[in-house]
Amino acid sequence: MRQRTHKKEVSTSAQKTAQVQRKHENESRWMKRCLFALFVILLLAPFTLIMSRELFQHLVYKHRIKVPFFVDLNQPVDFSLNHTINMYLKSEEGISLGVWHTVPESHWREAQGKDLAWYQRTLSDGNPVFIYLHGNTGTRYGIQSIYVLVRKYGNILRQLALSLEIISNLFLTNHFNRAATHRVGVAKVLSALGYHVLVPDYRGFGDSSGEPTEVGLTTDALHVYNWVKERSGSSLVVFWGHSLGTGVSTNTAVKLIEQGIVLDGVILEGTFNMRNEKLPFHVFSWYYWNFPGWGYFFPEPWAENKVVFPTEENVKKMKSPLLFLHAEDDPIVLIHSAQQLYNVAVSAQNAERVKFVSFEGSLGYLHNGLYKDPRLPDIIKKFVLTL
């Protein structure tokens, strides 16, 4: 009897030992698989970015995500722009740009039912003409709030939050065409002041054809400017660039200077300086920032794709009056970047021709909300009167 009990105890103990061993083996197997998967991801990520030009363009410009969804850009009236016409301009062979032209608000009754020819004729009525060059993305407030909370705790957390924001931009509601709320908002502000507003979508954005590149975007802006000048006579023509559009604006201004043409004025909202900062809207930029030495083996993907936007060098060459607009709580482009560019521009011209207006962080305008500020119309009006 004792022998049977002893054998049973030994058998039970052996079973428990075997179960523990199998459990450890399973845990070890899963750990190895996880480590291998992590190794593969870290190994392939830089190769994927370097080798895929299409992926690079998508991550930088996010032009394939069409937001707002299910909108008809042929119908600006659907966005309360009832004195606006939709048209298409041929930037170069094979490139068609979708453009909205909003006339001054005082003409809204007269504008009802008018055709493209009427809108074109109004450009020579003596009212200033604004060409609004938009950014590459919008932002979700929730992710930005997280970013604002954590960025003060250090650079690593700042990069992590930025990555979260870009992922949000890429997969949620954050690539906008000319129908985006903040762009419509700017058009309404300018129209109410008595100005014409042209809002083009760059190639590949909205319903415009083609693929976006830095040279291509600059070519598009240059074409829109020339098209406007051919029809606006002696009216002022002013660029308003936002975010990515500030790089396009300064690129175009320098191209015009090379042709002996000086823009009447340039407004730079949420401008970035790539000379002193990493590209602020690349989803994998954290990878290169946090792994010292990896750049030697795996060059940053934008190094060979030549996305430059040399805004600092451009403002040194520009001769146009400049107005910088920036929110203190902008989490995409920190305000010190714009202040550095302002200082460079003042050195190149003078403080009379270059102005900087900041908006308190407590207002919560972030990267896209400056159009909401009740002071903005007077700020713009004063700037235009100096031109």
Task: Please identify every residue annotated as catalytic.
Answer: 243, 330, 367
Q: Which alpha helices (H) appear in the chain, and where do they start and end? A: 2-51, 53-61, 108-111, 116-122, 141-151, 155-171, 181-192, 214-232, 244-258, 285-290, 294-297, 302-305, 311-317, 335-348, 376-385
- Token duo for residue 90: 């041929």
- Token duo for residue 29: 């197997």
Spatial CA neighbour of 370 closest among 314, 336, 323: 323
Spatial CA neighbour of 311 closest among 356, 339, 273: 273
Q: What residue type is 255 in one-letter code?
A: K
H or E element in which residue 130 lies: strand 129-133
Q: Residue 242 forms beta bridges with which residues?
A: 269
CA 77 to chain centre: 25
278 exposure class (CB count in 10 Å sphere: 0-12, 13-18, 19+): middle
CB atoms within 10 A of CB 358: 15
Output the DSSP codes for 220-250.
HHHHHHHHHHHHHTT--EEEEEETHHHHHHH
Between CA 4 and CA 10 the distance in angstroms is 10
